[in-house]
Structure 1
């Protein structure tokens, strides 16, 4: 079995026939990993036995996956089928959670709201409550209408951050949202906590919230990353910054690659980015420095995810993604997921 590039490696997972769209480690079990693919399947990997994943087919290409609460065998998935469904690996069945009018780009679960949060190209965010006692979905999701297609979504204990087309970034405060829902307010009656414009000039590819819940990071198609903070006070906003990355000189030309992969290490607060240049870098947001760049992967990076204790990093690569692989002529490279064991390279440097 192939090994992931560089030191501190663990075996790769079985290759896929189509692009990898999404990754989701279990929130408490560091060995369980969900993989969503354009081949219409959701895969469940137990890293203690990586050669025998479970899989369950969906009605269209899978664009995102998330774990259901209080279980190690049930997930949520959304994609080109225009719906969110449960994926039950015990019963090998799926159940409709909610429908959208276009592809479902993002799926998350909020413990604080007991809701599946789904973002779609139909320009809505839908919050579908899951009854904690029966695990059944509400037939009437809360529909939040948006100014553009959803490109990326992040949910924390206190915030929902939605990155859209037109460089829109809207933020909801979960305690406020929970109160509004308890009052029976409809989606059109609920305003976001903040409406922002992205600090990046080009299309957003990914957004993730910091483990300390004080801000978020976005990436773009133009090889840039922005570090933002929720606190609207001028002194807090003065700390935000952006930087260039995932750029290479190719035959004398400065070539810029999209930054598709983004993940925070939950233990150390550092984050990893993965680009169309087939590389992964680890960054210290406080020191504003790169800690490590790993050797090239076989194809452009399509998704990244750290596990619950920050000890492993899943790296998804997809040969059809925008960018260049490390194969002959930059083509090919296949589709798959490597899982990298994380050592000191993910820890912030201690100042002398």
Structure 2
């Protein structure tokens, strides 16, 4: 492994998500099936702070303008704040099944959570007290939520049944301000995934013009929001994270996905324990990093685009132990410094 990787202390269980701070590239949140949320300061990586919750944690996000508060959701069917300064947690909202995804929206001043209970819940916070609304807005969905992403203008939710629903944030804000609730709030677009198998991750392009999804069957799809025929003609999908193992063509799930916010390139991580960087405009792979010790479970770029957090988990899908050149296994987060290697090549 390249010397550029900063290795955070090993985890005892699978790492479910990683989230860099929106302004400070040295601060990283991570969540684990060990029921803890961790706050890492990469300038002093050996001693992360941690806070425990009930049930395995599946996702984590930063609170607005805070260096010590985040939101977490998981198998306890709850979204809670985690405050590392006070060591306290507070209930944001409850779901009827596991919370798979947690995001923060500046534009809505709300926590958005997606669950296996087939709902998206929008919990506005009081601007003066930061207290959560006792009555979250509940958007009913046709399937379980697998991945969720929020930008300034869009919310994209990838679900079971190959369903992708997209909300326009300004229209959603208007509907909420008008007091609309539930089924009165319609998504902007309802789509079917271009990928034939179950989706694992979705992320929005930094320019807000489209999104990328990945599937369990070693494929990635690049899509665009604008429904115009000439724009839709530009969408495409490609195969990745495949290798021949003992003469058999083996396909791995694409579990990690992250856009570089500066360069517009994106990284994918797979069950084969590898991470690749792609240029969506040139439709080319820029590079593949040396194999990590176990299947990739999450990826995230820092806001300055200079660091990539790579989470790997030995119990995740894909089982690298059978893959050629497999590592030692284990659960961890390594930080890769990636200056020019994530820049698109000059045309």
Matches within 5 A, 1:77-226: 77-226=72-221
* Corresponding position of 1:343: 339
Q: Secondary structure at the match of 2:261?
A: coil
1:57 shift after superposition: 0.2
The answer on whether the counterparts of 1:45 and 1:52 sit within 8 Å (CA) in structure 2 is yes
1:327 shift after superposition: 8.4
Structure 2: runs of 5 or more not aligned? none
Deviation sequence 1:171-222 (CA, Å, 0-9, x none): 0000000000000001110110000000000000000000000000000000
Q: Secondary structure at the match of 2:320?
A: coil
1:331 shift after superposition: 7.9
Q: Under a length normalisation based on structure 1, what TM-score does the superposition of the two structures give?
A: 0.97
* Corresponding position of 1:53: 48
Q: How far apart, in 1, do the equivalents of 2:226 and 2:35 lie? A: 40
Q: Under a length normalisation based on structure 2, what TM-score does the superposition of the two structures give?
A: 0.98
Matches within 5 A, 1:2-81: 5-6=1-2, 9-81=4-76
* Corresponding position of 1:257: 252
Matches within 5 A, 1:290-329: 290-325=285-320
Structure 1: runs of 5 or more not aligned? none
Correspondence 1:270 to 2:259? no
Structure 1 stretch displaced more, 199-208 or 326-335 = 326-335
Q: How far apart, in 2, do the equivalents of 1:28 and 1:185 lie? A: 33
Q: How far apart, in 1, do the equivalents of 2:302 and 2:322 lie? A: 28
Q: How far apart, in 2, do the equivalents of 1:11 and 1:94 lie? A: 29
Deviation sequence 1:60-95 (CA, Å, 0-9, x none): 100000000011100000000000000000100100
Structure 1 stretch displaced more, 331-340 or 266-275 = 331-340
The answer on whether the counterparts of 2:293 and 2:327 sit within 8 Å (CA) in structure 1 is no
1:328 shift after superposition: 9.3
1:346 shift after superposition: 0.1
The answer on whether the counterparts of 2:203 and 2:259 sit within 8 Å (CA) in structure 1 is yes
Q: How far apart, in 2, do the equivalents of 1:328 and 1:158 lie? A: 40
The answer on whether the counterparts of 2:272 and 2:323 sit within 8 Å (CA) in structure 1 is no
Q: How far apart, in 2, do the equivalents of 1:187 and 1:328 lie? A: 46
Q: Secondary structure at the match of 2:126?
A: coil
The alignment covers a number of residue pairs equal to: 346
* Corresponding position of 1:238: 233
The answer on whether the counterparts of 1:278 and 1:326 sit within 8 Å (CA) in structure 2 is no
Q: How far apart, in 1, do the equivalents of 2:205 and 2:128 lie? A: 31
Q: Secondary structure at the match of 2:183?
A: helix
The answer on whether the counterparts of 1:20 and 1:316 sit within 8 Å (CA) in structure 2 is yes
Q: How far apart, in 1, do the equivalents of 2:6 and 2:320 lie? A: 20
